[in-house]
Amino acid sequence: MGAWDTGIFDNDTACDWAYGLKDARDHGLIERTLDAVLDAGDDYLEAPEAEEALAAAETLARLRGRGGVRNAYTEAVDAWVAAHPGAPSPALLDKAQRAVARVLGADSELRELWEDSDDADAWRQAVENLQARLRAG
Protein backbone atom coordinates (compact mmCIF):
# COMPACT_ATOMS: atom_id res chain seq x y z
CA MET A 1 0.00 0.00 0.00
CA GLY A 2 1.59 3.31 -1.11
CA ALA A 3 0.26 5.24 1.87
CA TRP A 4 2.22 7.48 4.19
CA ASP A 5 -0.62 8.46 6.52
CA THR A 6 -4.32 7.82 7.12
CA GLY A 7 -5.85 10.82 5.33
CA ILE A 8 -7.92 10.50 2.18
CA PHE A 9 -5.14 11.94 -0.02
CA ASP A 10 -2.25 10.44 1.94
CA ASN A 11 -1.53 7.76 -0.68
CA ASP A 12 -0.14 7.58 -4.20
CA THR A 13 -3.37 6.42 -5.85
CA ALA A 14 -5.52 9.28 -4.53
CA CYS A 15 -2.86 11.85 -5.46
CA ASP A 16 -2.62 10.42 -8.98
CA TRP A 17 -6.42 10.56 -9.27
CA ALA A 18 -6.41 14.18 -8.09
CA TYR A 19 -3.80 15.08 -10.70
CA GLY A 20 -6.06 13.60 -13.39
CA LEU A 21 -8.94 15.75 -12.18
CA LYS A 22 -7.25 18.89 -13.55
CA ASP A 23 -8.47 18.06 -17.08
CA ALA A 24 -12.07 17.41 -15.99
CA ARG A 25 -14.62 20.00 -17.03
CA ASP A 26 -17.50 18.62 -14.98
CA HIS A 27 -18.37 15.91 -12.45
CA GLY A 28 -18.00 13.11 -15.02
CA LEU A 29 -14.71 11.73 -13.70
CA ILE A 30 -16.03 11.83 -10.15
CA GLU A 31 -19.15 9.95 -11.13
CA ARG A 32 -17.26 7.33 -13.16
CA THR A 33 -14.91 6.77 -10.23
CA LEU A 34 -17.80 6.21 -7.83
CA ASP A 35 -19.58 3.99 -10.35
CA ALA A 36 -16.50 1.75 -10.60
CA VAL A 37 -16.86 0.94 -6.90
CA LEU A 38 -20.62 0.56 -6.97
CA ASP A 39 -20.48 -1.60 -10.11
CA ALA A 40 -18.25 -4.05 -8.23
CA GLY A 41 -21.38 -5.14 -6.38
CA ASP A 42 -20.55 -7.99 -4.04
CA ASP A 43 -17.29 -8.78 -5.85
CA TYR A 44 -13.99 -8.15 -4.13
CA LEU A 45 -13.20 -4.42 -4.20
CA GLU A 46 -9.55 -3.75 -5.01
CA ALA A 47 -7.68 -1.12 -3.00
CA PRO A 48 -6.86 1.27 -5.89
CA GLU A 49 -10.52 1.63 -6.86
CA ALA A 50 -11.41 2.21 -3.21
CA GLU A 51 -8.72 4.87 -2.77
CA GLU A 52 -9.91 6.67 -5.89
CA ALA A 53 -13.52 6.53 -4.72
CA LEU A 54 -12.58 8.09 -1.39
CA ALA A 55 -10.75 10.85 -3.28
CA ALA A 56 -13.81 11.43 -5.47
CA ALA A 57 -16.09 11.55 -2.44
CA GLU A 58 -13.76 13.99 -0.70
CA THR A 59 -13.87 16.19 -3.80
CA LEU A 60 -17.66 16.29 -3.53
CA ALA A 61 -17.45 17.18 0.15
CA ARG A 62 -15.14 20.07 -0.79
CA LEU A 63 -17.59 21.22 -3.46
CA ARG A 64 -20.18 21.44 -0.67
CA GLY A 65 -17.85 23.56 1.44
CA ARG A 66 -17.21 20.69 3.84
CA GLY A 67 -13.67 19.75 2.92
CA GLY A 68 -11.29 17.93 5.15
CA VAL A 69 -7.58 18.48 5.67
CA ARG A 70 -5.92 20.88 3.24
CA ASN A 71 -2.24 20.37 2.52
CA ALA A 72 0.22 19.92 -0.33
CA TYR A 73 -1.44 16.63 -1.29
CA THR A 74 -4.84 18.26 -1.76
CA GLU A 75 -3.69 21.24 -3.82
CA ALA A 76 -4.82 19.78 -7.16
CA VAL A 77 -8.30 19.04 -5.82
CA ASP A 78 -8.56 22.37 -4.05
CA ALA A 79 -7.63 24.20 -7.25
CA TRP A 80 -10.18 22.21 -9.26
CA VAL A 81 -12.91 22.88 -6.71
CA ALA A 82 -12.13 26.61 -6.76
CA ALA A 83 -12.38 26.61 -10.57
CA HIS A 84 -15.62 24.58 -10.62
CA PRO A 85 -17.88 26.00 -7.91
CA GLY A 86 -21.33 24.63 -7.48
CA ALA A 87 -22.95 22.00 -5.34
CA PRO A 88 -23.10 18.43 -6.63
CA SER A 89 -26.48 16.88 -7.26
CA PRO A 90 -28.23 14.89 -4.53
CA ALA A 91 -27.95 11.80 -6.75
CA LEU A 92 -24.18 12.18 -6.99
CA LEU A 93 -23.88 12.71 -3.25
CA ASP A 94 -25.93 9.54 -2.72
CA LYS A 95 -23.50 7.63 -4.95
CA ALA A 96 -20.61 8.98 -2.93
CA GLN A 97 -22.19 7.92 0.34
CA ARG A 98 -22.85 4.42 -1.00
CA ALA A 99 -19.32 4.13 -2.43
CA VAL A 100 -17.73 5.15 0.88
CA ALA A 101 -19.91 2.63 2.72
CA ARG A 102 -18.80 -0.03 0.21
CA VAL A 103 -15.13 0.79 0.91
CA LEU A 104 -15.78 0.23 4.62
CA GLY A 105 -17.79 -2.92 3.98
CA ALA A 106 -17.13 -6.56 3.36
CA ASP A 107 -14.77 -7.74 0.63
CA SER A 108 -12.86 -4.45 0.52
CA GLU A 109 -9.12 -4.85 0.10
CA LEU A 110 -8.42 -1.33 1.34
CA ARG A 111 -10.35 -1.92 4.57
CA GLU A 112 -8.53 -5.22 5.03
CA LEU A 113 -5.12 -3.62 4.47
CA TRP A 114 -5.84 -0.93 7.02
CA GLU A 115 -7.24 -3.44 9.52
CA ASP A 116 -3.87 -5.18 9.42
CA SER A 117 -2.04 -1.96 10.33
CA ASP A 118 -1.42 -0.12 13.57
CA ASP A 119 -3.32 2.86 12.15
CA ALA A 120 -6.61 1.08 11.50
CA ASP A 121 -8.60 3.20 13.94
CA ALA A 122 -7.22 6.48 12.59
CA TRP A 123 -7.98 5.45 8.99
CA ARG A 124 -11.52 4.38 9.86
CA GLN A 125 -12.04 7.66 11.72
CA ALA A 126 -10.88 9.64 8.64
CA VAL A 127 -13.30 7.74 6.39
CA GLU A 128 -16.19 8.05 8.84
CA ASN A 129 -15.45 11.78 9.08
CA LEU A 130 -15.78 11.96 5.30
CA GLN A 131 -19.10 10.13 5.51
CA ALA A 132 -20.35 12.68 8.04
CA ARG A 133 -19.26 15.60 5.87
CA LEU A 134 -21.06 14.13 2.87
CA ARG A 135 -24.27 13.78 4.93
CA ALA A 136 -24.10 17.14 6.69
CA GLY A 137 -26.97 19.41 5.71
Query: The whole model's pTM is what?
Result: 0.96
For residue 7, is it within any domain?
Answer: no
The verdict on residue 67 lying in a domain is yes
Across the range 17-34, mean pLDDT stands at 95
In a domain, 3, yes or no: no
pLDDT of residue 86: 86
> Residue 87: inside a domain, yes or no?
yes
Q: Is residue 1 part of a domain?
A: no
Write out pLDDT tens, residues 82-137.
999 888 999 999 999 999 999 999 999 999 999 999 999 999 999 999 999 999 76
Residue 4 lies in a domain: no
Which of these, 22, 29, 16, lies nearest to 57 by C-alpha position? 29
Count of domains for the chain: 1
Q: Is 55 within the bounds of a domain?
A: yes
Residues in contact with 131: Cβ distance below 8 Å, sequence separation at least 6, in sequence order = 97, 100, 101
Q: What is the pLDDT of residue 112?
A: 97
Using CB atoms within 10 Å of the CB of residue 83, give its burial: 0 to 12 exposed, 13 to 18 middle, 19+ buried.
exposed
Establish if 85 belongs to a structural domain: yes
Domain that holds residue 65: 12-135
Pairwise pLDDT comparison (12 vs 87), residue with the higher score: 12
